[in-house]
Chain A
Amino acid sequence: MGKVIVVTSGKGGVGKTTATANLGTGLAQAGKSVVLLDADIGLRNLDLVLGLENRIVFDLVDVVEKKCRSFRAALIKDKRFDNMHLLPAAQSREKDAVKPEQMKVLCNELRQQFDFVLIDCPAGIEHGFRNAIAGADEAIIVTNPEVSAVRDADRVIGLLEAEEKCNPHLIVNRVKPELMKKGQMLSIQDVQEILNVKILGIVPEDEKILRASNRGEPAVLDPSSRAGAAYREIVGRLTNPEAAPVVIHKEQPSFMTRVWRALGISEEMANHA
């Protein structure tokens, strides 16, 4: 019996689709049988990021409406890995073309055949989100170290908890370590403290991600990509629960901060003085 994992975020543009493509490809590379399910009906992109856009015949809505014999007819085999498949979303339909109950049934069928079922969730918390989480056992929340992404992630975690999709895990994406060091970007500890969920991985901002999606080849396959390396680590944690956990580097307070603290002056006061 495979695991059904939904990749979600609330906010758009934080890297859900990229994360889904990279985790799926990484899992396939690690020898697991994987199916990627694009639940973003009307705004499908996972096919493009994986470079499989020209091979689509049937889609998720066709499967649910039984326009093809079984879900097998709609599965697209990956170019690189025989053990990875994509079930694309419909492009010319609306999110309500599928119901949460139908997604549950489909996920249960898929989990019989694959080790991992990864669902790429649409942005938002409406119908599309409800569909995407309906059949999932676990959730991976993708966020960025940025106020709006973290706030939306908190909302989504709350909704998942209400649905008793317990144990959400967090991927902090598009991290810029230099800015964090300078205190100009929310630190990983800040994000962890606010959201209070387990961190599955920290993915640095990497220009190679753009090149990877331009080419339709996930960065996880590029040995020189920093983000790709981070995704390989996450894959290690997904396949082996005893893998090394995320190390969060404590940031050293700057020299002046320590001076102010020693003098008992709050930094705010010092900065306004």
Chain B
Amino acid sequence: MFQFWTDFISSLLKKDDSSQMAAARLKGSVFLDRLSLSPATLDLIRTDVVRSISRYLVIDENQMTLAVQAEGRSLALAASIPVLRPRMEPIAEPQAVARAATQTVEIDARTDPARAGITVYERARARAMRRKRQVKR
């Protein structure tokens, strides 16, 4: 009996809703295409952003997202960068460069376009919900 229920629950959990994945992946590539921007260039931008901000703040790069979003047909580069703590003594530029350089490989390995895409999707949905709520008021 217990087996039945665990199977039942996991069958509910493993529902195939690949369309959300499709939408998120499409947004990821379509918006980059519109800007003639390659994923590699977006990674470079990300590295630069990390480098600049890391001079002043300690940030959580694992949780950071940087992606292109759409508002109608116009596009925006949206970043969400969680800050862990202030950096007591801001790093001078050359050191930051060296630091970023050692981290590039790490970022590349972690970069997961699908995950980034989903974040965009969720945020777009959240925005849509917020707008809807405002309309209701």
Contact = CB atoms under 8 A, between A and B. Distances in A.
A184 B25 CA distance: 14
B89 interface: no
Contacts, number: 66
Contacts of A254: 15, 17
A183 interface: yes
A160 to B, nearest CB: 12
Given A180-B19, A256-B12, A257-B17, 11 more contacts: A146-B22, A151-B29, A155-B33, A182-B17, A183-B15, A184-B19, A186-B19, A187-B23, A190-B22, A193-B70, A267-B17
Contacts of A158: 33-34
A97 interface: no
B19 A270 contact: no
Contacts of A171: none
Nearest to B29: A151
A183 B18 contact: yes
Contacts of A194: 23, 26-27, 30, 70
Contacts of B27: 194
A98 interface: no
Contacts of B18: 183-184
Interface string B106-121: 0000000000001000
A186 B22 contact: yes
Contacts of A52: none
Interface in A140-173: 146-147, 150-151, 154-155, 158
Nearest to B25: A147
A146 B22 CA distance: 8
Most buried by B among A151, A180, A193, A267: A193
B118 A184 contact: no
A185 B19 contact: yes
Question: Which range contains the number of A residues in contact with the other chain?
Answer: 20 to 34
Grouping DSSP codes into helix (H, G, I), strand (E, B) and loop, the A interface class, with mixed when no group exceeds half, is: helix
B34 A186 contact: no
Contacts of A271: 13-15
B64 to A, nearest CB: 17
Report the 10 A-B pairs with minimum CB-CB distance, sorted nearest first. Answer: A183-B17, A190-B23, A154-B30, A183-B19, A196-B73, A186-B19, A256-B12, A186-B22, A147-B22, A147-B26
Interface of B: 12-20, 22-23, 25-27, 29-30, 33-34, 70, 72-73, 118, 122, 124
Contacts of A273: 13
Contacts of B30: 150-151, 154, 194
B118 A256 contact: no
Interface in A177-214: 180, 182-187, 190, 193-194, 196
B70 A196 contact: yes
Nearest to A185: B19
Contacts of B34: 154, 158
28 contacts: A147-B26, A150-B30, A151-B26, A151-B29, A154-B33, A154-B34, A155-B33, A158-B34, A180-B19, A183-B15, A183-B16, A183-B19, A183-B20, A184-B16, A184-B19, A186-B19, A187-B19, A190-B23, A193-B70, A193-B124, A194-B30, A196-B73, A254-B15, A256-B13, A256-B15, A266-B122, A267-B20, A268-B118
